[in-house]
Amino acid sequence: MRHRLPSLSRYAGIYGALIRYSLIHEMQFKVNFLLWIVVEALWFGLQLAFMTVLYGHTDQIAGWSRWEVVLLVGCNQFIQQLFHMLFVTNLSNLSELIRKGTLDLLLLQPVNTRFLISVKKFEIGNIANALMGLAVVFYALAQLGRAPSPAQWVGFIVVCLAGLSVHYSLMFLLACVSFWTVRAQGIVWGYYNLFNIARLPAEAFPKGAYRAVFTWVLPMLLVSNVPAKLLAQRLASPWEWAALLLMAAACFIASEWVWRFSLRHYTSASA
């Protein structure tokens, strides 16, 4: 334990330095920084407007009321923007690191290479968009007349972190395809675009292969629905959040195995 604490402190210091560097870099292009926030905010607004139009023709979707679905959209926005802030740009860049030989330099650093690849850039602008999603969550809860207990908020944080871990592990696994192809950004961004599926309740999709795939293989529905159900008090049993926690652990183990397998078969760019 004594040896581990200095190591954690060291990595926290490295991460802090990377965040400061990202902030300095973003402030050099302030207009681009602000435009990104505005574009994402408009897209989020369009999603909410779509739900308003949808509920102009019906009272419920698969047993979900209007404000429960708004809560779900807010949860999805919160998780998606946090994920983009922390990982998306970094993981999509893995193929470039391999193609240009930059990975060789990272492998020589006295720091875990996967850590460097995963957190090298911190997208500051997504903080504002994540907070928009959280604000919608609070507003939807107020409209529903729900006041989650402290334990439920703790559970919400835990399942959101588990969802982030699932998305990170699966996207990292897909990014490792770069070791065998010239470019894999299309695969990585294709996974990210599937977030659009998660703005609807899982029950809105017919039972069968489609729902099973997007719940257990590419678990967009599971990751977004469980936090919303927890706050809306729609969880009938703890199996859903337990499944999410187990999936987070399983996906991370699988991604680590694929990463190590890829490194063993990696031919250096300088070879």
For the stretch 165-187, pLDDT in tens is 999 999 999 999 989 887 777 88
CA distances from 6 to 111, 116, 137, 149 (A): 13, 18, 38, 36
Q: What is the mean pLDDT of residues 155-173?
A: 96
The pLDDT tens digits for 13-69 are 999 999 998 888 878 777 777 888 888 889 999 999 988 888 888 888 888 999 999
Helix (H, G, I), strand (E, B), or coil: what is residue 203?
helix
Confidence of residue 5 (pLDDT cuts 50, 70, 90): low
C-alpha dist (Å) from residue 118 to 92, 104, 170: 10, 16, 13
Mean pLDDT of 68-97: 94
How many CB atoms lie under 10 A from the CB of residue 119? Answer: 17
Q: Quote the CA–CA distance of 215 and 118 in Å, as a whole number.
A: 25
The pLDDT of residue 100: 87
pLDDT, tens digit, 9 for 90 and up, residues 100-152: 889 999 998 889 999 999 999 998 889 999 999 999 999 999 999 999 999 99
CB 230 within 8 A of CB 159: yes
Q: How confident is the model at residue 3 (pLDDT cuts 50, 70, 90)?
A: very low
* pLDDT value at 244 more than 90: yes
Q: How many CB atoms sit inside 10 A of residue 251's CB? A: 21
Task: Check pLDDT > 60 for residue 2.
Answer: no
Kind and range of the H or E element at 48?
Answer: helix 30-54
Task: Tell me if 249 sits within 8 A of 83, measured CB to CB.
Answer: no
